[in-house]
Amino acid sequence: MHKLFSFSFWNSLARLILRNREVILGLIVLATIALGTQWKYMKFSHTEANLLPDDHPVNIEYDEFIKQFGEEGNLIILGATQETLNTYEKLNAWNQLADSISKFEEIDFVLSTSNLPVLELDEPSSSFKVNELLPTKLKSEADYAAFKKKLFTDLPFYKNLIYSEKDSVIRTAVYLKKDIVNTITRKEFVFNELVPLIDSYRNNGLDVRTSGMPYIRTLNAQNIVDEIGMFLLAALLITSGLFFFFFRSWRATFISIVTVIIGVMWAFGFLGLFRFEITVLTAIIPPLIIVIGIPNCIFLINKYQQEIRKHGNQALSLQRVITKVGNATLMTNLTTASGFATFIFTQSKLLKEFGIVASICIVTIFVLSLMIIPIIYSYLPLPKEKHLKHLGKTWINSFANWLGVMVKNYRIAIYITSVVVLILSFIGMYQIRVSGSLIEDMPKSMSFYKDIKFFEESFDGVMPVEIVINTKKKKGVNKPKTLKKIDKLEEHIIETPELSRPMSVISLIKFAKQAFYQGDPEFFDLPTSNERLFMAKFLKNSNGEVGLMKSYVDSTGQYARVTTFMKDMPTERLEYVEENLRAKLETLFPVEDYEITLTGKALVFQKGTNYLINNLILSLSLAILLIALFIAFMFKSLRMIFVSIVPNLLPLLMTAGLMGFIGVPIKASTILVFSIAFGISVDDTIHFLAKYRQELMANNWKIKKSVYSALKETGVSMFYTSIVLFFGFSTFTISSFGGTVALGALVSATLLFAMLSNLLLLPSMLLSLERSIANERTFKKPAIPIIAPKSDEEE
């Protein structure tokens, strides 16, 4: 009954599609137009990828910090070497650039050599006054020499803040208004105002280096946007080119292109419909649909041409395409979608959105292929003999024969090779490292990446790390005990090579003491108790303040903020630096008196990577479980799970081992490889087993004959689709993003391994375990007949 019902369903579906061609095409057009209206709601992400759930403690801490002190990632820095600023005219130009930037309404304030505030003692008013270090333009080289002496020798407050102690690089700090940092206004300002202005000064001989998280994020996001079109074009050209090479038919190629283009249009429509942002992950969904959609077209068109070659009846051929291939293709697309759908359960918003859209789009591209291809072919004349020549190509037959010989005569060699590969894979897996770097995947050839390294070399990092000290008392920050503790914390940070010179209220207090002693740099340190008494009157009467410092103590005086910047470093070193810093914080600030929060973009991203790694096991295990249930349900055999899963797990282990040997780390991008590749590679298994079961029934359960027949017929389609998938995913290697390159290369390699595994190891296992697995009881009554039995009508 199950078989007849299923066959009846697919037969009815075939008649429904072919008898209502105009209606279905009309509905597809209307759906495409409707989804096209949602494109206007597509938006690109203006924030870093947040890999953690919203309710994760690390996210909660970071959100609390933002509420208290505002957005931390609002700093853009400009830098120039002493070789660039080697004359007073060039320094004047440098200062003019800073003054021009400060006039934009998007800017909160700018700190540069043009307006450096200097605290000075004003004895008549018993207060500190804030004056500018350079109130007018330099007029001579003598003025320039005096300025440099004053900055580099007399103002330790600005050491490693405005100038680098290592190499005397001078930088300008540009602070965006915090309310625009995570909006499109930031992007418009950077591209329309800041970049053109900086370029104009570069063109006049000023070598300006630019960095800072808002600037990096803006240019990086634009690269993602630019690459979407490149990926789409490359994926379309490569997959359609391979399709034409295999089929030698412009007509078939054009039909496939139309189908996947509609699928891509729907993908963009779903992104807009769900109001999901386009991120580095969701940006790869449209080209992904092309890569996955073309194999669907290959299976359907290949079957149509095989049927035409057998009997030349177009109506019967189209019906069999839907009834025979439709069911198997549905199952393979469902398993692929399942691989992507597992990301929905990771609790990471970024991965969840990727999983939702990708899984929906994979199912819709199947539906589109199943309807569009038979309908279009129904309007066209029968394929010519030249279009069917590829079905009898000598090299394809030779490949199929080689597979048969290997499985028949060299099964022991196949098993030994598999075991050796497995052992090597485990060895490689133990060498895999984890990377939580924010910048590792960024394009190495881009100027902004080179500038990141420039500032890392001179100022020890550009990625902010924030420490919030809650004294649990109002005005607790001003207590001498607390200030001494913060000062010791700053000393520890300065001694850590991977961290930059910190900024906090301590620096301002030291600056005030230096000013109290007539600007003598020898007195740039914390005042003693007696000095505090003498300075108290001057501090009380001072109305001026350094704009840079206003965000480092809250209005109640209970919370102090210490900001440092971190170098890009391996995850192992980052974890050591973090543990060392936390240990120092625990020593200096006991929990009974203080509450400490350690946060910042770099740490949040690193924690997110660790979170994803922990969830990798969950998502991959879930993918394996879902696909195992599919197979058990389809074949009504638990033993078939073993036969089908092993040939698909081996390629995953091979890829993991390869990552260890060649040094590709586990990170936010490469972590996707395993679930994606497993969901796709198991498609070949389902196609092979479906054909195998059909051959068993046709050959009166003669196992060897059925294996070789299934291998000969499905081997060609599996080879075609695997090659298309291999080169299709390889298009991602043209990306400038390291993570996307690694994703494309690793998925391609895994699918190639999976093809060989399914064509050699799977049939070998079926032959070796024929008595315990491949019998009539196992296959005769599956819950879902993957390929419908022949009916009298077909005969």
The verdict on residue 315 lying in a domain is yes
Tell me what pLDDT residue 386 has: 64
Q: Is 676 exposed, middle or buried (0-12, 13-18, 19+ CB in 10 A)?
A: buried
- Exposed e or buried b per residue across 608-619, where buried means at least 16 C-beta atoms within 10 angstroms of its C-beta: bbbbbeebbeeb
Distance of alpha carbon 236 from alpha carbon 551, whole angstroms: 51
Q: What are phi and psi of 4, to 5 degrees?
A: -65, -40
Query: Which residue stretches of 71-165 are H helix?
Result: 88-102, 141-154
777 or 569: which carries more pLDDT confidence? Answer: 569
| Whether the predicted pLDDT of 210 surpasses 70 | yes
pLDDT tens-digit map of 462-482: 788 999 999 999 889 888 899
Residue with the bigger pLDDT between 242 and 393: it is 242
| CB burial of residue 335 (10 Å; 0-12, 13-18, 19+) | buried
CA dist 310 and 453 (Å) reads: 64
* Cα 657 from Cα 426, distance rounded (Å): 6
Place of tokens 């109002």: 474
Number of domains in the chain: 1
Q: Which domain holds residue 609?
A: 2-49+218-430+605-779
Q: Stretch 563-587: mean pLDDT, rounded?
A: 87
Do the bridges between strand 43-44 and strand 277-278 make them parallel or antiparallel, or are there none, so unpaired?
parallel
Question: 128: closest CA among 527, 556, 557, 559?
Answer: 527
Q: What are phi and psi of 417, to 5 degrees?
A: -60, -40
**Please, which pLDDT band fits residue 391 given cuts at 50, 70 and 90?**
low
In sequence order, the 6+-apart residues with CB closer than 8 A to the CB of 642 are: none
Quote the pLDDT of residue 48.
Answer: 64
* The pLDDT of residue 270 is above 90: yes
Length of the chain: 795
Tell me the pLDDT band of 787, cut-offs 50, 70 and 90: very low
Distance CA 664, CA 655 (A): 10
Rounded CA separation 559/545 (Å):
18
pLDDT band with cut points at 50, 70 and 90 for residue 790: very low
- pLDDT of 546 reads 42
In a domain, 681, yes or no: yes
Determine if residue 600 is left, alpha or beta; phi over 0 gives left, psi from -120 to 50 gives alpha, anything else beta: left
What mean pLDDT, rounded, does the chain reach?
82
Distance CA 609, CA 605 (A): 6
Q: Quick check: is 515 in a domain?
A: no
Tell whether the model's pLDDT for residue 615 goes beyond 50: yes
Taking only the tens place, the pLDDT of each residue in 635-672 is: 676 777 778 888 888 888 998 898 889 888 887 667 77
pLDDT bin (cut points 50, 70, 90) of residue 3 is very low
Cα separation, 151 vs 133, in Å, equals: 8
3-state SS track over 3-67: HHHHHHHHHHHHHHHHHCHHHHHHHHHHHHHHHHCCHHHCEECCCCCCCCCCCCHHHHHHHHHHH
- Structure tokens, 633: 């349900």
Print the SS3 string covering 676-699: HHHHHHHHHHHHHHHHHHHHHHHC
* pLDDT above 90: percentage of residues in the chain: 23
pLDDT value for 542: 61
Count the Cβ atoms, other than its own, within 10 Å of residue 525: 14
Q: Is 644 helix (H, G, I), strand (E, B) or coil?
A: helix
Q: How many CA atoms lie within 13 A of 5 on its CB side?
A: 6
- Model pLDDT, residue 78: 93
pTM above 0.85, yes or no: no
Q: Is position 342 within any domain?
A: yes
Q: Residue 541's pLDDT is what? A: 64
Element (H, E) at 406: helix 394-409
Rounded Cα distance between 481 and 491, Å, is: 16
Q: What are the C-alpha distances in Å from 335 to residues 103, 287, 544, 561?
A: 57, 19, 66, 50
For the stretch 497-535, pLDDT in tens is: 889 999 898 988 898 889 889 889 999 999 888 888 888
Question: Helices marked H in 460-570 — which ranges?
Answer: 480-495, 505-516, 529-541
> What's the CA gap between 549 and 561, in Å, rounded?
10
Residue 240: inside a domain: yes
Identity at 157, one-letter amino acid code:
F
Question: Which pLDDT belongs to residue 786?
Answer: 44
Structure confidence by residue, pLDDT tens digits, 233-244 = 888 888 888 888
Going by pLDDT thresholds of 50, 70 and 90, the confidence category of residue 770 is low
Mean pLDDT of 49-75: 79
Query: Average pLDDT of 746-763?
Result: 87
Instruction: Write down the residue that tokens 């405005």 correspond to.
Output: 162
What SS3 state is found at 477? helix
Token pair for 675: 């679930």
The candidate with the shortest Cα–Cα distance to 79, out of 351, 453, 435, 358, is: 453
pLDDT surpasses 90 at 97: yes
> Taking Cα atoms as reference points, which of 277, 280, 211 lies closest to residue 73?
211
Instruction: Identify the band that residue 7 occupies on the pLDDT scale cut at 50, 70 and 90.
Output: low
Higher pLDDT, 182 or 173: 173
pLDDT of residue 549: 55
Q: Is residue 388 part of a domain?
A: yes
Query: In the structure encoding, which two tokens stand for residue 503, read together?
Result: 């900024």
Mean pLDDT of 723-751: 83
Both tokens of residue 684?
A: 């070949």
Q: Distance between alpha carbon 316 and the CA centroid of its chain, in Å?
A: 46
Q: Does residue 788 register a pLDDT over 80?
A: no
Query: How does DSSP classify residue 381?
Result: P
Residue 772 predicted with pLDDT over 80: no
First to last CA, the chain: 21
* 490 or 294, which is more confident: 490
Nearest residue to 749 (alpha-carbon basis) of 697, 701, 667, 680 = 680
For residue 526, what are its two tokens? 């914390």
User: What average pLDDT score do residues 760-789 get?
Assistant: 61
Determine, yes or no, domain membership for 669: yes
Q: What is the mean pLDDT of residues 70-76?
A: 78
Strand partners, 176: 107
CATH of the domain at 771: 1.20.1640.10
- From the CB of residue 633, how many other CB atoms can be counted at a distance below 10 Å? 13
Q: How many distinct helices (H) and strands (E) make up the chain? A: 28, 11
Rounded Cα–Cα distance for residues 684 and 645 (Å): 12
Cross-strand pairs, 466: 563, 599
**Cα 601–chain centre separation:** 16
Asked if residue 213 belongs to a domain, the reply is: no
Position 545 pLDDT exceeds 60: no
Give the pLDDT mean for 262-290: 87
Q: Where does residue 472 fall: left (phi above 0), alpha (psi -120 to 50 degrees), or beta otherwise?
A: left
Whole-angstrom distance, CA of residue 91 vs CA of residue 407: 76
Task: Please write the tens of the pLDDT for every residue from 674-696.
Answer: 877 777 777 778 778 777 777 77
Give the list of residues 6+ apart from residue 72 with CB closer than 8 angstroms, or none.
Answer: 65, 66, 464, 466, 563, 600, 601
Element (H, E) at 247: helix 213-247
Q: pLDDT tens for residues 295-306?
A: 888 878 888 888
Share of the chain above pLDDT 70, in %: 90
Q: Give start and end residues of each alpha helix (H) in 276-325.
A: 285-311, 314-320
Residue 307 carries which side chain, given as an amino acid letter? E
